Amino acid sequence: MASTPHDLDNLVAQKYQHGFVTDIESDTVPPGLDEDLIRLISAKKKEPQFLLDWRLKSYRHWQTMQEPHWAHARYPAIDYQSISYYSAPKAKTDGPKTLADVDPKLLATYDKLGVPLHERARLAGVAVDAVFDSVSVATTFKDRLSRAGVVFCPFSEAVQLHPKLIEQYLGSVVPTTDNFYAALNSAVFTDGSFVYIPKGVRCPMELSTYFRINAANTGQFERTLIIADEGSHVSYLEGCTAPMRDENQLHAAVVELVALNDATIKYSTVQNWYPGDENGLGGIYNFVTKRGECRGDRSRISWTQVETGSAITWKYPSCVLLGNHSVGEFYSVAVANHYQQADTGTKMIHIGKNTRSTIVSKGISAGHANNSYRGLVKVAASADGARNYTQCDSLLMGSECGAHTFPYIEVKNPSATVEHEATTSKISEDQLFYCLQRGLSQEDAINMIVNGFCKSVFKELPMEFAVEAQNLLAVSLEGAVG
Amino acid sequence: MTTNTQNTAILEIKGLSAEINGRAILKGLDLHVRSGEVHAIMGPNGAGKSTLSQVLAGRQSYAITAGSVLFRGEDLLSLPAEERARRGLFLGFQYPVEIPGVNNVYLLKAALNAKRKQAGLAEVDAFEFLGLVREKMQLMQMDESFLSRGVNEGFSGGEKKRNEILQMAVLEPVLAILDETDSGLDIDALKVVANGVNSLRRHDRAILLVTHYQRLLDYITPDYVHVLMDGKILKSGTATLAHELEARGYDWVREEAAHT
């Protein structure tokens, strides 16, 4: 049966649902980057000296580095002096806030985004830290969490309340010198979330941070640090959106996870930054460094990501498997439509004995988009009995898009087992026609087929968000076949 | 049956011509089907049998160049494929496609609800639906594991065809077009499929069996048999015509048609 590619090509007319701007008075520093700016940010946050020194050291190193261009993505050079590095909604009062003190406009913004900050609202079982541009504006369920001994607060608050933990762990997984964007982030990061789960504690609820970029011409540089002490367990989710703008905006985050003996961290991301319009104008440059260290024996770190947004995505949530019998997992759905470019994957570094890792990557390309999986599986000489299983599947919708796979495998221990499977397929005209002939609409048919393709990743998401992820996928691919 | 005067017209095809990639496949085909009837469309390979099925179901890769098709008095060709399905036209595929990760039952429930919505009926809930599917599964001798599997995923040829008839049983179409339903079936599977089809014969339903071999017609006796050759119906008759074709092949039909 001959196919009709023009049918598949039409389904590309995405509507971005979070593109509004909140009109709120902000305290925004002028564009530009130098040591004075870094001192200013540090002073605004009333940071201890060690942190300012750490920032300045990062900045000086960053100045010696080159912007990396090995990713399968094209974009004009970024002018780092034209970005504003700090923007915060003006607060009526200083100091720690309760929900009652939060500007109603901000509460309304998060309501509109489907993340109500009232503790009895829809996400009743989830604690939320809401980060708006450069600062955290609210954190819910703090009391309930603190009764369990769990620390969940804005990063800048943690700097004040838990400076020892910050000094001990900050940069211990992603060093300031790690890469260009990590160095930049270390110099200018503004806020983010901090989580500490004490020994033996199972976090009583899902933790979640919702990142929102609102101000124009700003970059968002957040920093997240999660420490799971021995025998503890935590599930954390982040969500991200931004207004529709014609200019590209930079988002360069660093996330560090530390799992000690027998600890488990499950980290899920639903990334829906503004992807740009159907002609590729605007959108977020999402250049993110995420890494977890399974420092303890039998520890486990699991990354699950659903990436539908951003003009360019450059991120490789990774696991360093130091502890013996530790486990790293990476489950990813990356959707690229229109002119989006996604270069994403993971690194699994096996160092401890009998370490195991699983990689399941589902890439969906539509329109003129390019979607690349880039992954490294490295087995050190010390990693006796290490095992990895990798599965990379790509789904193409239409004839103008691309799917690419760049697997790197380095094995230095003969007892290791490394498996790699990869497939590339198209939503076939036959599958589509089969569903239409059963009475389904074109949109429903495509959603169903794509969701089927992503099933093994979606089932890893916390239940509250699995449905959201499916809906998001439907919106992202709206009009991708017509 | 055929003598019942209350039978209404289901399908009226007049002078239907269709091509794909500029190559003419159907060349002025006429066919009339009334409710309660089972018609068999037979013909050699490449005669246009599958094209006819696909064109009726609304596959867009074919261009209609002439003719008209009425489905219960309504212009079928102006409707998109999903609208035809919702109005009760069912195609049992020759090669049912696999849709990995999509649950069988999920697709079937979505299909039934799309049809019910069209008819102004409320959607069936999951519990009610499961009862219905279990009942029909017994008819097709399908085991419980089918409920949790992906659409045709890893199905044997026989399972795929049984699945098609199961879908037909659940969707209760007005017109069922079964395209080479017997191909790739061993004799036991063929009997199951044929029993399923026979149980679905009704006074208000028509069935079009598209088949290359007479074998299927040993189990499903058609009211009419048509020979499709060179893009049109060259000869029509009753069930005995199928036996004649089995014995003599197809060439004589073309010669006979040339002399009349």
Whether A427 and A397 have beta carbons less than 8 Å apart is answered as yes
- b/e for A15-42, b at 16 or more Cβ within 10 A? ebebeeebeeebebbebebeeebbeebb
pLDDT at A16 > cutoff 90 = no
**Residue A1: pLDDT band with limits 50, 70, 90:** very low
pLDDT of residue A27: 77
Cβ distance B171 to A454 less than 8 Å, yes or no, reads no
| Burial (CB count <10 Å: 0-12, 13-18, 19+), residue A111 | middle
Give the Cα separation of A331 and A141 in Å (integer). 28
Distance CA B140, CA B153 (A): 18
**Would you call B116 an interface residue with chain A, using a CB distance cutoff of 8 Å?**
no
Structure tokens at A188: 């200018």
Interchain proximity A2–B85, CB inside 8 Å: no
Is ipTM beyond 0.90? yes
Q: Which CATH superfamily is domain B9-258 in?
A: P-loop containing nucleotide triphosphate hydrolases (3.40.50.300)
In this prediction, residues A252-270 reach a mean pLDDT of 95
Beta strands in A279-355 (DSSP E): 283-294, 300-307, 312-315, 318-321, 327-336, 341-350
- 3-state SS, one letter per residue, for B126-168: HHHHHHHHHHHHHHCCCCHHHHHCEECCCCCHHHHHHHHHHHH
Amino acid in position A477:
L
B102 neighbourhood in chain A, CB within 8 Å: 448-449, 451-452
pLDDT at A115: 65
Find all residues with CB under 8 Å of A380, minimum gap 6, and list them. Answer: A349, A350, A351, A412, A413
Confidence (pLDDT) at A116:
65
CB A210 within 8 A of CB A128: yes
Query: Residue A467 pLDDT > 80, yes or no?
Result: no
A50-94 pLDDT, tens digit each = 999 999 999 999 999 998 888 887 888 888 888 888 887 776 545
In this structure, are strands A223-228 and A193-197 parallel, antiparallel, or unpaired?
parallel
pLDDT in tens, A25-41: 777 888 889 999 999 99
Please provide the size of chain B in residues. 260
**pLDDT on residue A114:** 66
Average pLDDT for residues A474-478, to the nearest whole number?
Answer: 68
Backbone angles phi, psi at B113, to 5 degrees: -70, -35
Q: Does residue A219 carry a pLDDT above 80? A: no
Closest CA in chain B for residue A426: B99
Query: What pLDDT does A123 receive?
Result: 53
Name the helix (H) or strand (E) containing A194: strand A193-197
Q: In whole numbers, what is the pLDDT of chain A averaged over residues?
A: 84
The residue ranges of every structural domain in chain B are 9-258
Task: State the pLDDT at residue B189.
Answer: 87
The DSSP secondary-structure symbol of A302 reads: E
Q: In the prediction, which pLDDT does A482 show?
A: 40
Residues listed for chain A:
482
Strand partners, A319: A292, A348
pLDDT attached to residue A480: 60
Nearest to B91 among A435, A437, A444 (CB): A437
- Alpha-carbon gap, residue A475 to A480, rounded angstroms: 10
A299 neighbors A260 (Cβ within 8 angstroms): yes
Task: Decide if A232 contacts A460 (C-beta within 8 A).
Answer: no
pLDDT of residue A439: 96
Residue contact B85–A439, C-beta within 8 A = yes
Residues (pLDDT < 50) of chain B are: 1-4
Q: Which residue does chain B place closest to A1, by CA atoms? A: B61
Residues A323-353: pLDDT tens digits?
999 999 999 988 888 888 888 999 999 999 9
The per-residue pLDDT for range A229-247, each reduced to its tens digit, is 999 999 998 886 666 666 7
Q: In angstroms, what separates the C-alpha of B169 from chain A's closest C-alpha?
A: 13
> Which of B115-131 are b and which e, b meaning 16 or more Cβ less than 10 Å from the residue's Cβ?
beeeeeeeeeeeeebee
Using the Cβ of B160 and the Cβ atoms of chain A, whether some distance falls under 8 Å is answered with no
Interface test mutation site (partner B, options A395, A435, A451, max chain B beta carbons within 10 A):
A435
pLDDT confidence of residue B173? 96
pLDDT for the residue B32: 97
Helix (H, G, I), strand (E, B) or coil at A182: helix
Lowest mean pLDDT among A24-33, A257-266, A284-293, B211-220: A24-33
pLDDT tens readout for residues A93-144: 454 456 666 777 777 776 766 666 665 554 556 677 777 776 676 777 778 8
- Among A310, A314, A297, A312, smallest CA distance to A263 is for A297
Q: Three-class SS of residue B92?
A: strand
Q: How many CB atoms lie within 10 A of CB A339?
A: 21
| Angle at which helices A49-62 and A35-44 cross, to 10° | 150
- pLDDT of residue A9 exceeding 50: no
Instruction: Say what the pLDDT of residue A6 is.
Output: 35
Q: What is the distance between the alpha carbons of residues B169 and B167, in angstroms, rounded to a whole number?
A: 5
- The closest CB to that of A439, out of B59, B61, B86, belongs to B86
Determine the Cα angle at A245 with ends A216 and A480, to 5°.
150
pLDDT of residue B51: 95
Q: Does B121 touch chain A (CB under 8 A)?
A: no
Average pLDDT over residues A433-459: 89
A389-402 residue pLDDT tens: 999 999 888 788 88
CB pairs under 8 A, 24+ apart, for B141-144?
B141/B192, B142/B166
Residue A12, pLDDT above cutoff 60: no
For residue A5, is pLDDT > 50?
Answer: no
- State yes or no: pLDDT of A151 exceeds 90: yes
Is A455 in the B-facing interface, judged by CB distances under 8 Å? yes
Res A359 pLDDT > 80: yes
Cβ pair A317, A292 in contact under 8 A: yes
